[in-house]
Structure 1
Amino acid sequence: MLNIINLISGTGLASASELKIEEQVNLTQYRHDVSVLASDQFGGRGPLSAGETLTLSYLVNAFKEMGLKPGFGDSYLQGVPLAKMTPESKMSLNVGDLRFKNGVDFTARTERMDALIKLSKSELVFVGYGINAPEYGWNDYEGIDVKGKTVIVLVNDPGFATQDPQLFKGNAMTYYGRWTYKYEEAARQGAAAALIVHETAPAAYGWGVVKNSNTGSKFTLVDENNNQDKLGVLGWLQKEAAEQIFAEAGLDYNKQKVEAAKKGFKALGLNSTVSLTLKTHIEKETSYNVLALLPGSEHAKEMVVLQAHWDHLGTVIDEKGKKHIYNGAVDNASGVAGVLELARIFKKLSLIKPFQRSILFASFTAEETGLIGAQHFSLNPPIATKNIVAFLNIDGMNVNDEVSYILRYGDGVSTLETDLALAAKSQGRTVKGDPRPENGLLYRSDHFALAQQGVPGLLFMSLGDTDPDYIAHKYHKDTDDFSQSWTLGGVKQDLGLIGSILAKLANNNDWPRWIEHSDFKKRRAEDGR
Structure 2
Amino acid sequence: MKPLLPLTLLALLSACSNAGNQEASTGPQFNEARYRNDIKVLASDEFEGRAPTTKGEKLTLDYLVTAFKAMGLKGANQGSFLQSVPMVTYSASENQSVSLAGLQASYRQDIVLGSRHDNGGVDIKDAPLVFVGYGVKAPEYNWDDYAGLDMKGKIAVILVNDPGFAAPDSGKFNGKAMTYYGRWSYKFEEASRQGALGAIIIHDTEPASYPWSVVENSWTGPQQDLVLSKAERDARVQVEGWMTLDFANKLFTQQGQDLTALMQQAAKAPTQVALAGKANIQFANEASYSDSYNLVATLPGTDAAKEHILFTAHWDHIGKDETKEGDQIYNGALDNASGTAAIVEIARQFAREAAMGHKLRRSLTFVATTGEEQGLLGSRYYAANPLFPLKDTIAVLNMDSTNVYGRTKDFTIVGKGQSQLESYLIEAATRQGRKAVGDRNPASGGFFRSDHFSFAKYGVPAVFAGGGDEPVDQATSDYKEQMKLKMKGCYHNVCDHYREDWDLSGALEDMAVFYGTAKALADSSDRPGYLKGSEFHSLRPAS
Cα distance change of structure 1 residues 234 and 462 upon mapping to structure 2, 3 Å threshold: farther
Counterpart selection for 1:238 from 244, 250, 253: 244
In 1, the alpha carbon distance for the partners of 2:342 and 2:377 equals 21
Task: State the match for 1:506 in structure 2.
Answer: 522
In 2, the alpha carbon distance for the partners of 1:491 and 1:387 equals 29
Q: CA deviation at 1:517?
A: 4.1
**Post-superposition CA distance 1:386-408 (Å, at most 9, x none):** 22111111112223432211111
| 1:350-369 → structure 2 map (5 Å cutoff) | 350-351=354-355, 352-369=357-374
Q: CA deviation at 1:430?
A: 0.6
| 1:169-318 → structure 2 map (5 Å cutoff) | 169-225=174-230, 227-263=233-269, 265-318=270-323
Of stretches 36-45 and 67-76 in structure 1, the one that deviates more from structure 2 is 36-45
Q: Percent identity?
A: 39
| 1:6-25 → structure 2 map (5 Å cutoff) | 19-22=25-28, 24-25=29-30
Of stretches 215-224 and 367-376 in structure 1, the one that deviates more from structure 2 is 215-224
Q: CA deviation at 1:480?
A: 2.4
Cα distance change of structure 1 residues 266 and 436 upon mapping to structure 2, 3 Å threshold: closer
Partner secondary structure for residue 126 of structure 2:
strand
Q: CA deviation at 1:248?
A: 4.1
Cα distance change of structure 1 residues 247 and 473 upon mapping to structure 2, 3 Å threshold: closer
Task: State the match for 1:104 in structure 2.
Answer: 109
Task: State the match for 1:77 in structure 2.
Answer: 82
- Say if 2:327 and 2:494, in contact at 8 Å, map to a contact too: no
Cα distance change of structure 1 residues 89 and 400 upon mapping to structure 2, 3 Å threshold: closer
Q: CA RMSD in A?
A: 2.4
Partner secondary structure for residue 151 of structure 1:
strand
- Say if 1:464 and 1:470, in contact at 8 Å, map to a contact too: no
Partner secondary structure for residue 105 of structure 2:
strand
Paired letter, 1:476: H
In 2, the alpha carbon distance for the partners of 1:17 and 1:66 equals 17
In 1, the alpha carbon distance for the partners of 2:457 and 2:144 equals 21
Task: State the match for 1:477 in structure 2.
Answer: 493
- Say if 1:108 and 1:234, in contact at 8 Å, map to a contact too: yes
In 2, the alpha carbon distance for the partners of 1:379 and 1:44 equals 27
Of stretches 278-287 and 485-494 in structure 1, the one that deviates more from structure 2 is 485-494
Task: State the match for 2:484 in structure 1.
Answer: 468
Cα distance change of structure 1 residues 220 and 513 upon mapping to structure 2, 3 Å threshold: same
- Say if 1:204 and 1:438, in contact at 8 Å, map to a contact too: yes
In 2, the alpha carbon distance for the partners of 1:187 and 1:312 equals 27
Counterpart selection for 1:154 from 148, 155, 159: 159
Partner secondary structure for residue 228 of structure 1:
helix
Q: CA deviation at 1:343?
A: 0.9
In 1, the alpha carbon distance for the partners of 2:321 and 2:200 equals 27
In the superposition, the TM-score normalised over structure 2's length comes to 0.88
In 2, the alpha carbon distance for the partners of 1:57 and 1:519 equals 38
In 1, the alpha carbon distance for the partners of 2:303 and 2:120 equals 51
- Say if 2:49 and 2:320, in contact at 8 Å, map to a contact too: yes
Cα distance change of structure 1 residues 365 and 393 upon mapping to structure 2, 3 Å threshold: same
- Say if 1:463 and 1:471, in contact at 8 Å, map to a contact too: no
Q: CA deviation at 1:419?
A: 1.9
Paired letter, 2:261: K
In 2, the alpha carbon distance for the partners of 1:401 and 1:518 equals 32
Q: CA deviation at 1:354?
A: 2.8
In 2, the alpha carbon distance for the partners of 1:429 and 1:498 equals 14
Of stretches 468-477 and 118-127 in structure 1, the one that deviates more from structure 2 is 468-477
Q: CA deviation at 1:261?
A: 0.8
Q: CA deviation at 1:305?
A: 0.4
Partner secondary structure for residue 261 of structure 1:
helix
In 1, the alpha carbon distance for the partners of 2:494 and 2:244 equals 26
- Say if 1:21 and 1:495, in contact at 8 Å, map to a contact too: no
Task: State the match for 2:53 in structure 1.
Answer: 48
- Say if 2:111 and 2:241, in contact at 8 Å, map to a contact too: yes
Paired letter, 1:129: Y
Of stretches 27-36 and 387-396 in structure 1, the one that deviates more from structure 2 is 27-36
In 2, the alpha carbon distance for the partners of 1:337 and 1:247 equals 49
In 1, the alpha carbon distance for the partners of 2:503 and 2:30 equals 14
Task: State the match for 2:142 in structure 1.
Answer: 137
Gap runs ≥5 in structure 1: 1-15
In 2, the alpha carbon distance for the partners of 1:410 and 1:348 equals 33
In 2, the alpha carbon distance for the partners of 1:382 and 1:283 equals 26
Q: CA deviation at 1:333?
A: 1.5
- Say if 1:147 and 1:190, in contact at 8 Å, map to a contact too: yes
Q: CA deviation at 1:289?
A: 0.8
In 1, the alpha carbon distance for the partners of 2:347 and 2:84 equals 22
**Post-superposition CA distance 1:460-483 (Å, at most 9, x none):** 344998542365143223332323
In 2, the alpha carbon distance for the partners of 1:72 and 1:232 equals 36
In the superposition, the TM-score normalised over structure 1's length comes to 0.90
Cα distance change of structure 1 residues 464 and 335 upon mapping to structure 2, 3 Å threshold: farther
Cα distance change of structure 1 residues 21 and 176 upon mapping to structure 2, 3 Å threshold: same
In 1, the alpha carbon distance for the partners of 2:263 and 2:122 equals 30
In 2, the alpha carbon distance for the partners of 1:464 and 1:93 equals 43
Task: State the match for 1:414 in structure 2.
Answer: 419
Task: State the match for 1:344 in structure 2.
Answer: 348
Of stretches 465-474 and 345-354 in structure 1, the one that deviates more from structure 2 is 465-474
Partner secondary structure for residue 372 of structure 2:
coil
- Say if 2:95 and 2:283, in contact at 8 Å, map to a contact too: no
Paired letter, 2:493: K
- Say if 1:106 and 1:237, in contact at 8 Å, map to a contact too: yes
Q: CA deviation at 1:75?
A: 0.8
In 2, the alpha carbon distance for the partners of 1:101 and 1:409 equals 36
Q: Does 1:119 align with 2:124?
A: yes
Partner secondary structure for residue 526 of structure 2:
coil
Of stretches 435-444 and 478-487 in structure 1, the one that deviates more from structure 2 is 478-487
| 1:481-500 → structure 2 map (5 Å cutoff) | 481-500=497-516
Q: CA deviation at 1:521?
A: 3.2
Cα distance change of structure 1 residues 89 and 473 upon mapping to structure 2, 3 Å threshold: closer
Q: Does 1:443 align with 2:448?
A: yes
Of stretches 357-366 and 276-285 in structure 1, the one that deviates more from structure 2 is 276-285
Paired letter, 2:499: S
**Post-superposition CA distance 1:242-288 (Å, at most 9, x none):** 2333334432221111111113x342322333221232122211111
